Structure formats: C-alpha cells, structure tokens
Structure 1
Amino acid sequence: MTAPIARATTTEPIVETAQGKLRGARAANCLVFRGIRYAAADRFQAPRAPAAWAGIRDALTPGASAPQTNANPPPGPPYVILAQLPRPANAAPPPKLPESEDCLFLNVWTPALNDGRKRPVMVWLHGGFFYGGTGSTTDGSGIAGRGDAVVVSINHRLNAFGYTHLADLAGGEFAEAGNAGMLDIAAALRWVRENIAAFGGDPSRVMVFGTSGGGMKTSFLMASPPARGLFARAGVQSGPGLRFMERDTASAVTERLLREVGLTNAQVRDLATIPADRLLAGYHAVAAAMKPTRFIDLPCFAPVIDRKWLPQHPFSPGAAPGTAAIPMLIGCNAQEMSFFWGNDPAAFTLDEAGYEARVRDFAGEAAPAVLAAYARAYPDATPARRYLQAFSDYSLALPVTAQADRHAAAGGTTYAYRLDYQSPALGGKLGALHTLEGSLLFDTPEASRALLGPGDAPVRLARTMSEAWVRFAATGDPNGGALPRWPRYEPKRRDTMLFDTGTSAVSDPNRRARETMAGLLRA
C-alpha cells in the first residue's frame, strides 16, 4: 500500500504522476514501483480517480489484494497441485499477503526513467478466474531488466466484492456492481494511459495479457466498448473468454447470496454495509454449491452481459464488434488439467475402466469417438495419461481453438501457440500443466525450477517466449529473433507455434479435439 509522504535522497528513483511524485526502488536490473493507487471505490460502486498529494510518496511495497481467503476451507488437500511440489530445504513459507476491500493498486517495472525511450507496455491481469488471485506476486523484472518493455500488474475487486449483480434487484448507484472488477481494470488502464510515459512506456502500445482468469478478463476487455482505445494488443493464455453470465442467471445468484447472509430481496442494499467477512463467507458458501462443470463455465460471480460494459458475449457465437480490431495472441498448454487434480489422486492412476467412465462423464454420446481417437493417437500411453490429454483438450484446447477461429474469421490478426514443454515435477506426471508458461513469459525461470527442472532448456525457452511476447506487444507481430517463422492464424490452416525444447510452427495441432468434441463446446 502506498506509504506516507517522505523525503527523498538523490539516488532514489523518483517519478512524477498526474497525482503526485512517487519514490520507487532499484532492483538488480531495473526500477520497480509498488503499491501505486490507481483508483478508489466504495463497495459495489464504480471506481473513482485517486486523490492528488503533495511531496513524495513511497511506492515500495505491494498494496492489499482483494478479499478472497476462505476462513473455513473444505477438508483435504487443496485442488491446486502446486501445493504438493517439494520446497527447498529450510525455505520459509511465503508470507501471507494482506487482503482488503481497499485493493485498487498496481505495480510498475521499468528499465529506466528519463532516457528518451518509449517502450511497449505489458499489463498483466492475474489468474484465479474471477474469485481469487493477486498481481502482488508478479515479477516483471525479467522483462524490464532486458530494457525492452515496461511491465504493469494490478489488483482489483474479486468474487462477491467485484461481481455481485445488483442492477435488477437494487439499481441506482449499484447498477454496475456485476462488473465492478472489470471497471477497476478499465480504471487501471486509464491510469496507465495517463501516467505510463513518465515510467518510460508508450501509451499507444499497451498490451493486456493474462493466464486463466486473466485471459478471460482480457477477452472481456476486447469486447467492452468503454475499454476501446485503452490497449492495442491482447494476449489470452489458457483463459478463453467465449461467454460470460446472462443477467437472469446473475440475479438468481445474488438471491442465493442474500439468503446465505440472512437477508431478503427487500434488504438487498444492506449487502453494501454488512461486514466484509460475512459477505466473503456468503460468497464461499454459494460458490461451493455452484461449482463449474467445465473450465469455461462461469456459474456465479463473474462478469455479466450489460448494455454499456459488455453488450454481447466476446466470442459467442462469433467475435463481438470491435474484437477483430485488436491483434490477439492466444493459446494453451498441452496437459492443462493436471493442475486441478491436487485433491484427485485417483486421476493419475486410472485403469482402462476408470478412464472410459470419466470420458463418458464429460463426453456423453461422443465418448466412443473420443476413446477411439485417443487410443489411436496414444497407443502406448497409460489410461491415466490418455484421460489427462483428452480432458485437457476438451477443457481448453477446444475453446481456445474456437476463440482463435472466431477472431480470425472476423478479420482479426491472430497468432496461436501451444506450450508442450513437459514438467519433470512429481515424477513427470503433470505434463505441460496449467500456468506453466508464467515464468517463461516473464523470463524468470529460476523462480519456477521446481516445475521447469534443471538445466539450460527452461532458460532458453523462457528467453524465446518472453521475447516473442514483447515483440507482439511492440508491433502486433511476434516474429523475429531466433524464432522460426510464426504464420498468422487462419481458420483453414490453423497454424500454431509449438513451444518445447525446440520450437516449430505446425498446422492444426488441436485437430483431434476439434473433430471429436466439436459438439461438446456449446459456446
């Protein structure tokens, strides 16, 4: 959180924003400014511009993350399998990040101030779908340290605080509450447009990108009229955002929340004043009862169709107006879903009968075709590995391909990728799991050695991928450097860059999922 005003020394990096001067810190290879307030907001209401200040204010520590921690978590191990990775000997546990409704803060990493350069800007939207996560743990120093881009990460409102739809039950000043978290992101982008030049960034070359929920948020912004002109490129990593919530469904969720916290529909406005821990507990209870049935399902507390902010779904049934004007880089990892099996150890040891039963669960009448296709493609794989591949293709490769198809068919500049690098963690059973690309895109592979493994291969891959993403941020085209030619994605060929220990472009690598499961997309 932004610290009180203090005196400066001559060696400290000082930047002047529209609101006042900020003091940052010198990292080993760049400058970093943390906990910058980009807006303020009352519960369920639109964000407002931050107040100005006199003197110099410290920007040395991250601001608070949005409230999200469940005070009464379900029993058993967490579903995110990263919790099972071995920790280095004597390593201290990561510090618990502060959480607060007052969470509209961002962080900036820049190579230099006042050097006459205008670099592309890469604004990272964190994952965690729309219920959790934080930008406070992002490390933009790998990219900024090379000198070729400015990196920004943000915190914004989440779960019931950011996505409780009140327009139809309360209206008035709460009319935009169902998209409050997205209004926060738009406010952060306005702050970037107004201030990023002072940090050495080019406000005309802003790329918004994110993994998982961050990709979904990026997809929302592409289709949101008030967000037009705030960014020039989009990166959607393992987070296709085809559809969001319909108003009637969102209102029904709000009614469930009211009952959970002991209020009636007539008392809906009291949601704005009940204690934060009571609202958060109500959210967790409703969310536990409304779990998604597949990765792209958003059954509760997610963005809502709205005449102003989201007039129609971003990529369903086709690309929404305006989305094709924004170049998009989109893709996923080859074996995404092992990430979510931390509390499902049986998924890694399935026999043939168990594998077939699970495929029938998600594929229904298409199960025979899916089983036959994956038996032909992976004759030597265990049933568990075939299930991991089929379920990952169904969950992410299929909707990612659909979003790429629809963007390109509308005339958009589209580039597609797939990360195939196999994590050696936990005996190699994870494959190329969800979020594996994070430290590769940020060129910080040392931070993820537990997932990436030893040696030079992760270092080379991180440099290749991060440089491609920076080129895309700068020009809308990732080609250049030592990267093989990366063709634009077109629905007829579906050219896709595969990133592994080697890198190559291939045509339609997700064809198996598309041809056997197309009828299961329903979006």
Structure 2
Amino acid sequence: MIVINTDNVFETALKLLNAFLIGVCCIFLLSACSSEKYKRTGDESKSISAEVSITGGLIRGLFSDKNTNSLKQYHGIPFAAPPLGKLRWAPPAPVIPWAGTLDATSHGRYCMQPETTGIGIYIGTRSNPSEDCLTINVWTRANKVDEKRPVMVWIHGGGLLGGAGFEQSGEALTKKGVVLVTFNYRLGRLGFFSHPELSAESPKGVSGNQGFRDQIAALHWVKENITKFGGDPNNVTIFGESAGSFSVSALQASPLAKGLFHRAIGQSGGIFWPMSHRNMDKPWASSDEKLGMILAKALVREGGNTSLDLLRATPADQVIAAAESSPALSALEYIPTVDGEVLPDEISFIFARGEQADVPTMIGNNANEHEAVMDLFTCINGSGVDGFNRFKMGLLGEVFDEIGSLYPSDSEQTILQSWEEFSNDVNFTYPMRLWARAMSNVSSDVYLYWFNYYPPVEDRQYRAFHGGDLPYVFGQLDMFGGNPVGADFADADTMMSIWTRFAASGNPNGKNIDGWEAFTPSNESYFILGSENAPARNLRTERMGLIEKAWDIRRVQGTASLPTVMPTGIKDLMRKCKGANP
C-alpha cells in the first residue's frame, strides 16, 4: 500500500495540482475572429458534402451554409467500439460498423467522470456521462477532398479525470486554414487502471494507460479518414493544454504513436517527474497493479471476490465514486504508469535517451498559472510566512537556504507573489524547460514560449492564469465571461496564427512574430507572448537551476515524490477548502 506521511510537506505541498488541473475543462462559447484565405490544390477533385463515407459507414454532418470557406462540422463519430463489458479496461477495439447513415450533427456523451469537478473559476458540471463515449469530432472549411490542409488534433485537459473533446470549437481556428479534430478518451480509473488479471489477459503481459491507447486509436482514425475532410494525413499536429499537454509528452514518448503525428504543441504541462510502474514499487509510489487491487477491494465487501469479471460487472459510476473517495487512488487519479508497452520507461528517461518522436515541437506555460486558486494554498498549507516556508522547505529541502532569497517571504506583502511564482516555477516552468532541453537533443527544432496576456475575465481580476491561453488559441474570448475588447481579438488572431502557422510549417515565425529562435541549451531562447511580443533568453535560469538541484538530490536519495500525492481524497480536500474558491 502506498504510504503517505501527512507530516512530509514534500509529499503534500503540491496536492493542489490534481484538484486544480481537473477543473480546467470549461465549455467554450463561440466568438468571431479574422480569417486567412486558404488556397485549394485542385478544383477538379471531389467536393466535400454533408454525407461522408468513413471507417464504419456513412455519416451526415452539419453545414453552416454552402458558401466558399463555409464551416462543415461532423460530431460524435465513433472511432472505436464502446468499451463495455469485456472491453472495459481493454485496449480500444475496432469500431463496429453501423447500418444506414449516422447522424453526426451533435456531439456524443462525456466519458465517465465525476459530475462536478474543479475549483473556483474552473468548476464545471457534466451530466449524463457514459462508458460508450469514444467519439471524434471534425471541423473543416475545405471544399475539396484533396486540399491537404494541415490537421490539428486537440487533446483536452482536465487532469485525465474530466472534460471532453467537444468542449472546444473549431469555428474560429479553422478560418486559419486548418482542419481541427477533437475526441474523447477514457478518464480516471476507467482510463488509467492496472490489475494483475488484466496483465495476464494481455499477450504482452501489460495493463494500464487505456486513455493513452484511446488517444493513439484516435490518431489512427485521423490517418485513415482525414482526407475525406480535406485534411493531410502526413501533416498532423497534436496539441493539448494541462493534462492534454501531459498527453502530448506521453505520445511523443510512446513507440505506439510513432509516425501518427508530425508536430507537437504542449501548453502548461508535461510528465517529467518520477512515475509509477505497473508491477514495481518505487520509493515514491506503489505499483499500479497494487493500486488496482486497492480499488478492487474498495468496490467489494471485506473478504469479497475481487476478480476482474466482477469488477467489469460493477456499475461505472461506482468505480468512479470509489476511486474519488479513496485517499491512495484519489491522490494518483490521473498518474499514468510505466506499463511496458505504451510507455516502456519513464517519460523523462525516454526523452533523455533521445528516443522520443523527433518532430518539431512548441511548448510553454503561462506566467501566473495558479493565480485563480491561490486561496487554496493557504487553506492547504496555512497562511502567512510560516505556511509559505513550510511549502518551500517541503519541496526544496537541502537547497532551501540557497533559493530563499529568490522567493522572499519576509513580509505578508511579498508572500502571495512569491508563493504564486514559486508554485508556478515548480509545477509548470521547470517541467516545460526540461521538455525543451530534452527535445533539443534530437534534430527537430523546439520553440519555447511564455504566455503573458491578461484574459478577459470579469473585471480583469486575474493575470495569465492556468487555462487563460485557451480563449486565444481557439478564438473564444468569452469562455470565462468578461467583456473582450478590440485588443483581445487582435491578440487572439495573433495566437491562432502562431499555432496554425506552426502546424503548417513547424515554425511559428511570421506576421507580427519575428525573431523567435529555436531553443538550445546554449541560448535558452524563448518568446514572450504578451502586450509586447518579443524574443528573450534565459527564462528564470537561476531559479530553474536550484529547483533542478533539489529534484536531483531527492531522486538520488530515492525520496522523489509524485507532485500530486495527497493525504486525503479529492472530496475531502474540497470539503476542507470549499470556502477558498476565488
């Protein structure tokens, strides 16, 4: 059983991150942004119609109108068999063909997840989830099937516990000449679950990471079908934010995803901490199979049968509830595992050896990731100077004295800013820099950014908070409320141009963006996306060096901890801190 010492601040100081990440899954509202004309490669090719023949059968989508560059949408398309019964926790099976024409004018259902997730500004309610949820959505403005537009495949965030692909819209982004694809994947312990009997079922003796297998299956669907929507299967960019960015780093590391994408964008998240293993205990975590047995025991009465057949017969909502309420399982709800096939080793080791997908990569994070949830830090750790020092000591240990001056805590006036900057650096800036450094060891270019726009939330009360980049990337500036102004629309147009330009060519430079150099360990180049877009170098280098030193010491000592281990379940945390929502 995993042992969690509630007095060990290193293991508890970052407990916020799990509850924080699972809530960044708001439903997007549509907004208009300027467009760029995309030239077709041939006028004699077959026109794209509302009815399209794809793997599984015929679908009928939704046309906004029949004008040139009109938006065409296809929603709720199955890309795998429903993972029900014997297929629960199995790798995704081939889609079951359907008779007649499938209505693809409305999205499918959420994958199983808690009805309410998130905290503060991120709280969201998702009703009527289902295990029958493996569906994909396509937005395109192509008119002919041979246009070969760049394809952008979005992986939604939500801590690998919540959210859905259909919460993002392609109405604005497709005006930049790309085809947008989003999809659902299995979540929580229905999507990341290992068990000895599951491993015994597998020809390769592995289990776990089912959600990542769903993502890979969706990429196979794109490769086989995207030409029907005017997309280029040989120019596919995967991109994601938060847990979606975790997924991007995992797919780059997975040999099963090689060749299925050609560029990658990671926004605020990467799996570069010590990982759990399927069948091997580590000093910082029990094996994932052992955690699977903990869940099995939580679902049956004491001394009851914990066989896989009974687990598969257990209603899905009971599985979700048991995982959410168990301290050990809730603490590691979204943590992927080294299963031996999807992930043959820890992601950081795969990258260090240069075995990841060698594709152009653009990654970065926001300047104030935790700003919208800072009240939770004082709830969890205690307020004031003492609380912040406990937080720092738990994470930094031996280098606490060295780094203390970089995050001053000498007064109540400086404490909040230092706390926000420190948590931002540990949880986001440092992992993204690790990712950039690892990618610089292969031949493809990597571009690092620092997002510093102030999103149009009510009263502009937050700066560049976690998820604050999404309204700009998708051109949906009213997703958090507030009143966007002309500058916001111009900034969104710039952001969409950067993202789609990178998807098309592997280089973000172009109109309004000049001098963005590829990152190398020698130049530490990055680009500030803010009121004044500008190139820069050496992002918080001194801080990053000391954080790296602290992590290296803990790894050598065998005390490196996963950054989301909590002494209580998510529900207990929410009850304790329910008054801390901003």
- Give the TM-score taking structure 2 as reference length: 0.77
Alpha carbons 1:79, 1:340 under 8 Å: kept: no
Tell me the SS of whatever aligns to 1:234: strand
Q: Would the alpha carbon gap of residues 359 and 97 (structure 1) be closer, same or farther in structure 2, given more than 3 Å must change?
A: same
> How far did 1:108 drift?
0.6
**CA deviation digits over 1:398-427, x for unaligned, max 9?**
111111111112344211111012346476
Match of 1:82 among 121, 136, 159: 121
- Equivalence map 1:39-58=2 (5 Å): 39-40=80-81, 41=83, 42-58=87-103
Structure 1 stretch displaced more, 427-436 or 231-240:
427-436
Contact 2:241-2:266 within 8 A present in 1 as well: yes
| 8 Å CA contact 1:238, 1:331 repeated in 2 | yes
* Aligned position for 1:474: 504
Q: After the TM superposition, which of the residue ranges 205-214 and 107-116 deviates more from structure 2?
A: 107-116
Aligned to 2:212: 182
- Contact 1:65/1:156 (CA < 8 Å) preserved in 2? no
Percent of paired sites with the same residue? 28
Instruction: Judge conservation of contact 1:323–1:412 (CA < 8 Å) in 2.
Output: no
Q: For structure 2, which runs of at least 5 residues remain unmatched after alignment? A: 1-46, 281-286, 556-582
Which among 370, 375, 392 is matched to residue 403 of structure 2? 370
One-letter amino acid of the counterpart of residue 281, structure 1: A
Out of 270, 276, 282, which is 1:240 matched to?
270
Contact 2:148 2:230 in 1 (8 A): yes
Q: Which amino acid aligns with 1:404?
A: A
Relative to structure 2, which stretch is displaced further, 159-168 or 389-398?
159-168
CA distance in 2, matches of 1:379, 1:478: 42
1:4-403 pair list within 5 angstroms: 13-27=50-64, 30-40=71-81, 41=83, 42-69=87-114, 80-83=119-122, 96-114=126-144, 116-144=146-174, 146-167=175-196, 171-173=200-202, 176-243=206-273, 244-247=275-278, 248=280, 249-262=287-300, 267-286=307-326, 288-289=327-328, 292=331, 299-300=332-333, 302-316=335-349, 318-341=351-374, 343=376, 351-375=384-408, 382-403=414-435
**C-alpha contact 1:36 1:107 (8 A) present in aligned 2:** yes
Partner SS state of residue 106, structure 1: strand
d(CA) in 1 for partners of 2:111, 2:93: 17
Is 1:404 aligned to residue 436 of structure 2?
A: yes
Indicate the RMSD between aligned Cα atoms, in angstroms: 3.0
Q: Which deviates the most, 333-342 or 271-280?
A: 333-342
Report which stretch shifted further, 340-349 or 319-328: 340-349
SS at match of 1:474: helix
From the superposition, tell whether residues 204 and 360 of structure 1 become closer, same or farther in structure 2 (CA, over 3 Å). same
Q: 1:342 to 1:50 in 2, by over 3 A?
A: farther
Which whole-Å CA distance do the structure 2 matches of 1:180 and 1:11 have between them? Answer: 33
Structure 2 distance, partners of 1:448, 1:34, is 24
Task: For residue 218 of structure 1, report the CA deviation from its aligned partner.
Answer: 1.1
**Relative to structure 1, is the Cα distance of residues 379 and 236 closer, same or farther in structure 2, using a 3 angstrom cutoff?**
farther
C-alpha displacement of 1:386:
1.7
Q: Which residue of structure 1 lines up, in the alignment, with residue 570 of structure 2?
A: none
- Deviation per residue, 1:443-483 (Å, 9 max, x gap): 22243453xx5322221221111111111111211121221
Q: CA-to-partner distance for each residue in 1:184-234, whole Å, 9 max, x for gaps?
A: 111111111010011110000011110111011111111111211111111
How many Å separate the matches in 2 of 1:109 and 1:400? Answer: 29
1:87 alignment counterpart: none
Contact in 1 for aligned 2:60/2:74 (Cα 8 Å) = yes
Between 1:346-355 and 1:381-390, the stretch displaced more is: 346-355
**Contact 1:37 1:50 (8 Å CA) reproduced:** yes
What are the Cα deviations for residues 163-188 of structure 1, in whole angstroms up to 9, with x where unaligned? 11125665215955412111111111
What is the Cα deviation at residue 13 of structure 1? 2.0
On the 8 A contact 2:111/2:186 being kept in 1, the answer is: yes
For residues 326-361 of structure 1, the C-alpha deviation after alignment (integer angstroms, 9 at most, x for no partner) is: 221111111112344464566999544443343334
The 3-state SS of whatever aligns with 2:211 is: helix
d(CA) in 2 for partners of 1:477 and 1:380?
44
Distance 1:424 1:516, change over 3 A: farther
- Give the match's secondary structure for 1:123: strand
SS state of the match for residue 435, structure 2?
A: helix
CA 1:130/1:320 → structure 2, altered by over 3 Å: closer, same or farther?
farther
Q: With CA pairs under 8 Å and 6+ residues apart, which has the higher RCO, 1 or 2?
A: 2
2:462 aligned with 1:430: yes
Q: Are the counterparts in 2 of residues 250 and 300 from structure 1 also a CA contact under 8 Å? A: no
Residues 420 and 322 from structure 1, CA distance in 2 versus in 1: closer, same or farther, beyond 3 angstroms? same
Q: CA deviation at 1:19?
A: 2.4
Q: Distance in 2 between matches of 1:262 and 1:347?
A: 32
TM-score by length of 1: 0.85
The answer to which of 355-364 and 431-440 deviates more is: 355-364
Mapped to 1, the partners of 2:362 and 2:270 lie a distance apart of: 11
Structure 1 unmatched ranges of 5 or more: 1-9, 85-93, 293-298
Match of 1:515 among 508, 530, 545: 545
Question: How many corresponding residue pairs?
Answer: 488
The 8 Å contact of residues 106 and 153 in structure 1, kept in 2 or not, is answered as yes
Structure 1 counterpart of 2:540, one-letter code: N
How far, CA to CA, are the matches of 2:209 and 2:196 in structure 1? 10
Tell me the secondary structure at the aligned position of residue 362 of structure 2.
strand
Cα offset, 1:325, TM superposition: 1.2
- Aligned counterpart, 1:413: 445
Distance 1:97 1:281, change over 3 A: closer
Distance in 2 between residues matched to 1:507 and 1:381, nearest whole Å: 29
Structure 1 residue 117, shift from structure 2 partner: 1.3
Q: d(CA) in 2 for partners of 1:170 and 1:18? A: 30
For the residue of structure 2 that corresponds to 1:129, the secondary structure is: coil
User: Residues of 2 paired with 1:226 and 1:46: CA distance?
Assistant: 12
| Conservation of the 8 A alpha-carbon contact between 1:237 and 1:331 | yes
| Letter paired with 1:284 | E
